Amino acid sequence: MSNLKQFWHHLRVYYEDTDAGGVVYYARYLNFMERARTEMLRECGADILSCQQQHGVFFVVKNVSVNYVAPARLDDNLTIATTVTKLGAATIGMSQNVFCGPRLLTEGTVDLVSLNAAGQVLRLPDQLRHKLNSIINTQ
């Protein structure tokens, strides 16, 4: 993918994602968003395993905010749009929206912090920062 200013991840809603009424359980959206973030990082060459093995970087969620607009239902095809919105010394800010077709279902933001294996805040390595700078969207 040549332009990752916005990354699109597609998935289907399965029975395991829903409550008894066939509506996606609210916490599952966090799982969907994490999958999309993980795939976006992989696509830009900063996959989670390489970050850990090559740079000693572990990403953890520092803050997450979700606004539920409309429900997803069993068997819906969802698209999660992920955009890197800010890059700090040891943090990455992202915007993530979940859609079913053109319909917005969920709006979210997430802040990740970079830690070392001991759980201490770690400045993002230059090589990793360069990869993330190439996909940041400040609009």
Active-site residue among 17, 19, 75, 126? 19
Residue type, 105: L
Strand order in the sheet with 91-100: 7-12, 77-87, 91-100, 103-115, 58-68
Comparing C-alpha atoms, which of 75, 94, 74 is closest to residue 84?
A: 94
Q: d(Cα 96, Cα 106) in Å, to the nearest integer?
A: 8
Residue type, 100: C
SS3 string, 92-122, reads EEEEEEEEECCEEEEEEEEEEEEECCCCCEC
Using CB atoms within 10 Å of the CB of residue 75, give its burial: 0 to 12 exposed, 13 to 18 middle, 19+ buried.
Answer: exposed
Active site residue 19: yes
The residues that are catalytic are 19
